[in-house]
Structure 1
């Protein structure tokens, strides 16, 4: 796991260097101002991919391993990385990843996962009730609009749009379009095409993989097709992670699962880190790590910096 820690440090320093003149810890209300201010930075392929892998692979591995092993340097490094990314691109989700992982870890670490569904349901109901009573706040906006409502709304809009416009037949995926040269919407991404139609010329309405790989590609039948592809990937992933601590796997996967709500499946595997997560967990020395294999149901018993 030390290589993960080293790459987390390298990635954090690199992002801090690229955005060095624009780092700013902004409030929730000013995130779009910060994004606009740094929009021209980090557009090159290397920075885009490295930044995405730092957020979706290195941070969750570092934070989660730090919790399981009680090695604070991992947790602190992952948290600092998420703060630097937030100061660079004002990405709220990445900023919250360490907190979300910490809460899930604390909630599940001493529980039998088979009996945890009812507890999770009760917890969600409590959160929903509190947000309804408290009125409009930053948290309630994130929970109701961004987390629960946005996906359903955008899926509906994608269905409406592609009912009257050409399907992409997966040409929205760069590799496919490089071969077929058949993408029907020129230089605009799917999110921009739908966002410009229903919102404004500045809106990029990224949506989940059912909307992008499903509806946009093949219409309603695409939902079934993309679900089958995801099912096959999950079978592979389930085999690779069979002997890992399940709570560790859940925590590591949180950012990747988050990208599935906002990107195509294939983009989630590449930029969302799905392929890298599978690759890392395939190493034998990862599986034999006593802190994260299936024989460790809680956390390490000793505290260490490394």
Structure 2
């Protein structure tokens, strides 16, 4: 199984060395945060050669598949579609944003004081429990609204402000994101904003693939140094443990588990109706119960391994084909001037990142990829190419 250690090197040869399309960003983060951790840990954690081969084959297949999408000439496949002037799109997004914020005001509590004194990080789990209770008694639309705001609609303003140098859009977006964060204390909401800023800096300075590798390696060793010398654990928890180790461990555990158990067949989701799979726990909770001893623990994993747990390799292939269609269209309508291309790439960051940590269906619906797709499909802003 150690022979798979050569595969990341091969992928590194073929992967695009600079981000020119939105799909390139996804191919980079999947390679860094799913492929490398899984391949590295499989020889030690896989229950058998078979399970190690399967899990490695899936993440390697996805990595090469995303590279392939990046070299497709989408202009020969996707027809031109008449879009909407950017001013009209901003108005529509603003109206929808205000409507969803009104839903939040009606149904949830805002913890502004805890944000100001930073105690929201200490009380995060208490606030999240309160949020879940309120969510249980609210409508489905309200439940989705907070994630659509945090992952799509509010980032729209932040990304527009950064790409087109509109400070007031940027300020409005950041303030709204902090307000939304005060409701549920989901750290991913703040992380999404930080990630957008980080990717913005990397894109503006035209950082290459090898520079990303160097930066990630340096950051990882710095995190470990700060932990060993000063006992500062935040960075090592976030960078080394959460971003690099946990995704690989969970990917292998998922394949280990479903090698000896029936597939989940989308338990407790609308797709379960087509597979008679609504009688048991959803796949992430099955893993949480088996490995952590708690059926309330949701052990989410990247979209491809999640697909395997819900139906095997055939479901992986089906979701890859759907992802192909989505990415080719997004790549097509990301074309234009540098500012527009920068805006589209930044705008896809929060939802594309979700592919690393949850299922395809969750990314599409709960995390709002379908909204991101619609906005990109019709967003038009003329500018000179450079």
TM-score (norm 1): 0.82
Match of 2:238 in 1: 142
Match of 2:259 in 1: 163
How much does 1:94 deviate?
Answer: 0.8
Residue among 225, 240, 251 paired with 2:346:
251
Match of 1:120 in 2: 212
Deviations for 1:78-118, whole angstroms, at most 9, x for unmatched residues?
Answer: 2122212221111111112222212321332253xxx6223
Query: Do residues 45 (structure 1) and 140 (structure 2) align?
Result: yes
Match of 2:289 in 1: 196
Deviations for 1:111-146, whole angstroms, at most 9, x for unmatched residues?
Answer: 3xxx62233222222211211211142232111222
How much does 1:19 deviate?
Answer: 2.1
Distance, in Å, in 2 between the alignment partners of 1:247 and 1:70 is 11
Contact 1:240 1:278 in 2 (8 A): no
How much does 1:13 deviate?
Answer: 4.5
Contact 2:269 2:278 in 1 (8 A): no
TM-score (norm 2): 0.66
Match of 1:82 in 2: 177
Task: Note the residue ranges of structure 2 that are not aligned, 5 or more in a row.
Answer: 1-89
Distance, in Å, in 2 between the alignment partners of 1:123 and 1:83 is 28
Contact 1:167 1:217 in 2 (8 A): yes
Distance, in Å, in 1 between the alignment partners of 2:166 and 2:95 is 14
Between stretches 195-204 and 14-23, larger displacement belongs to 14-23
Query: Do residues 261 (structure 1) and 359 (structure 2) align?
Result: no
Q: Secondary structure at the match of 1:206?
A: coil
What CA RMSD, in Å, does the superposition of the two structures yield over aligned residues? 2.5
Task: Note the residue ranges of structure 1 that are not aligned, 5 or more in a row.
Answer: 298-306
Distance, in Å, in 2 between the alignment partners of 1:256 and 1:152 is 20
Q: 1:172 to 1:229 in 2, by over 3 A?
A: farther
Query: Do residues 65 (structure 1) and 160 (structure 2) align?
Result: yes
Q: Secondary structure at the match of 2:132?
A: coil
